[in-house]
Chain A
Amino acid sequence: MFDIVSFIPRAVVQGIPLLFGSTGETLTEKSGNLNLGIPGIMYVGGICGVIGAFLYEQSAGSADAMNGFLTIAIPMLASLLGSLLMGLLYCFLTVTLRANQNVTGLAMTTFGVGFGNFFGGSLIKLTGSEVPSIALSATSSAFSRSLPFADNLGWFGAIFLDYGFLAYLAIIIAFVLSFIINKTRVGLNLRAVGENPNTADAAGINVNRYKYIATCVGSMIAGLGGLYYVMDYACGVWSNDAFGDRGWLAIALVIFTVWRPNIGVLASILFGGMYILYLFIPTGTNLCVKELYKMIPYLVTIIVLVAVSIRQKKENQGPAALGLAYFREDR
């Protein structure tokens, strides 16, 4: 039997990192920056949170000595700072120095994944600590504390309330961003920057500032996806490459949602579900079929990509100036 009550929470938990990533990337792409560095940024967001938490746990000594607020604030801030720096680097190269966005993004991913794995693998040695592995159980339990009553409300609690606060934050961010993009002046200006920077510039919008802010904030949001993954999903245990290809899946999700963060909330859960569907499909002894199920999110994205390009509906296309550097005096 397909166990929907246990399937949905697992799909949600899988979907939340993707939601963070795709919301961040959508915001970035709205400004015309195709940031292929998102996978790297999510790694950096994750590892910076780990470093922050690790140092704090080490200095505090025991779980009892840890301040509840700092336990959450330190990894959060470290994570945000790490991904902000990555965002700034991307902007400096592509906006200020007008470098090719694809190449810069891929370089950022190489760097970011390397950064994550390097510190993940060498943190203990570098700090000279005497622990066998990075297991931030105290921090993790603060991050993954679910809402009250979650255990008392049966299936309702399991499906809707049984998540750490970052999961709700992801959903709130997605809706807030959706509102900002569509209903506010800043959002209108941002859309114009991504569609036609020349026009936006002529209308008195500071194109570079919008690109910088959108990309940096987008990176920070995406970085939280990495943080959620280690602290909540992985219970505070960092293992190299465990985050896997979720960053790319987040980029796929942006296309799948046709650049709308509010659709992303459901779509990310759908993607999360497709990602773990293989665990719930009875395959008997035939283990290999499970690998084929893991292909589904990518295939679905390809189908959406093709469908959008065939239908040619203007509202469903990505920002028109996506991937192009802007130079006012170009001629």
Chain B
Amino acid sequence: MNKQNQSPLVHIVKRGALPWYTAWGIRGGAILLALIVCAIVTTVVTGDNPLQVYATMFEGAFGTARKSWTTMQSTAMLLGVSLAVTPAFRMRFWNIGGEGQVLAGGLAAAACMICLADAVPNWLLIILCVVTSIAAGALWAAIPAFFKAKWNTNETLFTLMMNYVAIQLVAFFVIVWEVPKGAGKIGIINQSTELGWLPVIGNQKYLLNILVIAVLTVGMYIYLNYSKHGYEIAVVGESEKTARYVGIKVERVIVRTMLLSGAICGLVGLLLVSGTDHTVTTTISAGRGFTAVMISWLAKFNPLIMVFVSLLIAFLEKGAGEISTQFGLNQSFSDILTGIILFFIIGCEFFITYKLSFRKSEKKEAK
């Protein structure tokens, strides 16, 4: 066989637009495949049979009302940060500083709760918590945005660094406010008075958070797709030159959008600190800022689809947690499963954008 005279075995061509159902079909297939691989991995590690694995995971995520509520809470918080970073991504601004922005918001809320609890009435304190945490998140996001707008400073790296500045800032205040001295943590703030705590509705600790995020999801969907701001964001993301050409002030849109992005992160920080945890630690955001980047991207920046992706990730987290507990393994098992699922979904995008064309001129579809 003379290789010289043959065309390459496989070569890659870009496809035209796929109908949406095929595209989502491919993504669904990838998730299914990933879940199978996850089951196999779990089986290898634990010796449990694959079906039992998912039964256990389901048990862990939705087994009791309480577990269902925590899963919903996790979903809501992940979704909240994902919603926050999405407008920036639509603008092609890689905000991977969600972590720091959530911390900034949470820190501001905690600061109000600690320092102002005795000074102002509770209703005013809650309002102050809300306002300052949103402002703090927005500020944290606006700093890299300003430099991006003014000097085109790389935002991916800048926002990344801001995360760690925020973490150290929180670490600093944790020691300033530690209770008791030398404990290295703050503990529950205002435990006896519950000052600055967000109200609990319907006797469900997490219901308020979930409702807030639900409203936010719909709002974000409308904002991105139907508002003038959303349209400006889309134009800036597609082409800055076009935006300038039609008189959109690109710098202003960048800063404004990042203010929004940071404000929502700040709000999530508030929900975490004043709503559920009632304390602040350096790990309060728990990597959500990073996970949110992936959720937003996997959902193609569509807030409604993000609901499902967040749920999937939260389910894995809780489910794998259950497996870890049952088999006495480390909690990080869920990260491995999440990683596997992400790799599959990331990889499957290729088959949506491109197709493989095989030699012998028959054009087969890769999937």
User: What is A's interface to B at a CB cutoff of 8 Å?
Assistant: 34, 36, 89, 92-93, 96-100, 102-104, 106-122, 125-126, 240, 245, 248-249, 251-252, 255, 287-289, 291-292, 294-295, 298-299, 301-302, 305-306, 309-310, 318, 323, 327, 329-330
B334 within 8 A of A: yes
B24 within 8 A of A: no
Chain B residues near A240 (CB, 8 Å)? Answer: 330, 332
Chain A residues near B343 (CB, 8 Å)? Answer: 89, 93, 104, 107, 111
How many angstroms between the C-alpha atoms of A240 and B329 in the bound complex? 13
Residues of B162-199 contacting chain A, CB below 8 A: 162-165, 167-169, 171-176
Chain A residues near B340 (CB, 8 Å)? Answer: 111
How many angstroms between the C-alpha atoms of A112 and B287 in the bound complex? 14
Given A100-B297, A318-B154, verify A120-B164 contact (CB < 8 Å): no
Which residue of chain A is the closest to B153 with respect to CB atoms?
Answer: A309
Q: Tell me whether A103 and B14 are in contact (CB under 8 A).
A: no
Closest Cβ–Cβ distance, residue B92 to chain A (whole Å): 11
Residues of B298-341 contacting chain A, CB below 8 A: 298, 328-336, 338-340
Q: Tell me whether A99 and B152 are in contact (CB under 8 A).
A: no
Which residue of chain A is the closest to B11 with respect to CB atoms?
Answer: A329
Within the complex, which residue of A126, A309, A318 is in contact with B45, where a contact is CB–CB below 8 Å? A126
Within the complex, which residue of A103, A121, A255, A302 is in contact with B332, where a contact is CB–CB below 8 Å? A121
Chain A residues near B293 (CB, 8 Å)? Answer: 102-103, 106
Given A110-B290, A248-B160, verify A99-B346 contact (CB < 8 Å): yes
Which residue of chain A is the closest to B353 with respect to CB atoms?
Answer: A98
Kindly supply a per-residue 1/0 record for chain B positions 336-355, scoring 1 wherever the CB is within 8 Å of any chain A CB and 0 otherwise: 10111011001101100110
Q: Tell me whether B175 and A287 are in contact (CB under 8 A).
A: yes
Closest Cβ–Cβ distance, residue A28 to chain B (whole Å): 14
Q: Tell me whether B338 and A110 are in contact (CB under 8 A).
A: yes
Q: Number of B residues whose C-beta is below 8 Å from A?
A: 56
B225 within 8 A of A: no
B294 within 8 A of A: yes
How many angstroms between the C-alpha atoms of A121 and B162 in the bound complex? 30
Per CB-CB distance, the 9 closest pairs between chain A and chain B, nearest first, are: A114-B335, A111-B339, A121-B330, A117-B332, A288-B175, A97-B350, A107-B342, A309-B153, A291-B172
Q: What are some 18 contacts across the A-B interface (CB < 8 A)?
A: A98-B354, A100-B349, A102-B94, A110-B339, A114-B336, A114-B338, A115-B339, A117-B332, A118-B330, A118-B335, A240-B330, A252-B161, A255-B154, A287-B175, A289-B172, A292-B168, A295-B164, A298-B165
Closest Cβ–Cβ distance, residue A267 to chain B (whole Å): 15
Add 9 more A-B contacts to A252-B160, A295-B169, A310-B151 (CB < 8 A): A89-B343, A96-B350, A98-B354, A111-B340, A117-B332, A118-B330, A121-B331, A248-B160, A309-B151
Q: Tell me whether A248 and B164 are in contact (CB under 8 A).
A: yes
Which residue of chain B is the closest to A114 with respect to CB atoms?
Answer: B335
Chain A residues near B349 (CB, 8 Å)? Answer: 97, 99-100
Within the complex, which residue of A111, A119, A291 is in contact with B338, where a contact is CB–CB below 8 Å? A111
How many angstroms between the C-alpha atoms of A225 and B176 in the bound complex? 34
Q: Tell me whether B329 and A110 are in contact (CB under 8 A).
A: no
Kindly supply a per-residue 1/0 record for chain B positions 80-105, scoring 1 wherever the CB is within 8 Å of any chain A CB and 0 otherwise: 00000000000000101000000000
Chain A residues near B160 (CB, 8 Å)? Answer: 36, 248, 251-252
Chain A residues near B328 (CB, 8 Å)? Answer: 122, 125
Q: Tell me whether B153 and A292 are in contact (CB under 8 A).
A: no
Q: Tell me whether B335 and A115 are in contact (CB under 8 A).
A: yes
How many angstroms between the C-alpha atoms of A83 and B334 in the bound complex? 20
User: What is B's interface to A at a CB cutoff of 8 Å?
Assistant: 12-14, 45, 94, 96, 147, 151-154, 156-158, 160-165, 167-169, 171-176, 287, 290-291, 293-294, 297-298, 328-336, 338-340, 342-343, 346-347, 349-350, 353-354
Within the complex, which residue of A98, A117, A125 is in contact with B350, where a contact is CB–CB below 8 Å? A98
Q: Tell me whether A122 and B161 are in contact (CB under 8 A).
A: no
Chain A residues near B153 (CB, 8 Å)? Answer: 305-306, 309-310
Q: Tell me whether A111 and B168 are in contact (CB under 8 A).
A: no
Q: Tell me whether A34 and B156 are in contact (CB under 8 A).
A: yes
How many angstroms between the C-alpha atoms of A110 and B293 in the bound complex? 12
Q: Tell me whether A106 and B294 are in contact (CB under 8 A).
A: yes
Q: Tell me whether A288 and B346 are in contact (CB under 8 A).
A: no
Closest Cβ–Cβ distance, residue A314 to chain B (whole Å): 14
Q: Tell me whether A117 and B330 are in contact (CB under 8 A).
A: yes
Q: Tell me whether A122 and B330 are in contact (CB under 8 A).
A: yes
Which residue of chain A is the closest to B289 with respect to CB atoms?
Answer: A106
Which residue of chain A is the closest to B184 with respect to CB atoms?
Answer: A287
Which residue of chain B is the closest to A323 with respect to CB atoms?
Answer: B156
Q: Tell me whether B158 and A288 are in contact (CB under 8 A).
A: no
Within the complex, which residue of A106, A119, A291, A330 is in contact with B168, where a contact is CB–CB below 8 Å? A291
How many angstroms between the C-alpha atoms of A327 and B291 in the bound complex? 27
Chain B residues near A111 (CB, 8 Å)? Answer: 335-336, 338-340, 342-343
Within the complex, which residue of B152, B171, B332 is in contact with A309, where a contact is CB–CB below 8 Å? B152
Chain B residues near A309 (CB, 8 Å)? Answer: 147, 151-154
Q: Tell me whether B342 and A294 are in contact (CB under 8 A).
A: no
Chain B residues near A36 (CB, 8 Å)? Answer: 96, 156, 160
Q: Tell me whether B332 and A118 are in contact (CB under 8 A).
A: yes
Q: Tell me whether A103 and B338 are in contact (CB under 8 A).
A: no
Q: Tell me whether B330 and A120 are in contact (CB under 8 A).
A: yes
How many angstroms between the C-alpha atoms of A330 and B354 in the bound complex? 11
Chain A residues near B333 (CB, 8 Å)? Answer: 114, 118, 122
Which residue of chain B is the closest to A97 with respect to CB atoms?
Answer: B350
Chain A residues near B287 (CB, 8 Å)? Answer: 110
Which residue of chain A is the closest to B144 with respect to CB atoms?
Answer: A302
Q: Tell me whether A299 and B165 are in contact (CB under 8 A).
A: yes
Q: Tell me whether A93 and B330 are in contact (CB under 8 A).
A: no
How many angstroms between the C-alpha atoms of A310 and B347 in the bound complex? 36
How many angstroms between the C-alpha atoms of A106 and B160 in the bound complex? 11
Given A104-B346, A126-B45, A294-B168, verify A118-B329 contact (CB < 8 Å): yes
Most chain B CB atoms below 10 A, which of A34, A251, A291, A292: A291
Q: Tell me whether B14 and A330 are in contact (CB under 8 A).
A: yes
Chain B residues near A288 (CB, 8 Å)? Answer: 172-173, 175-176
Q: Tell me whether A106 and B335 are in contact (CB under 8 A).
A: no
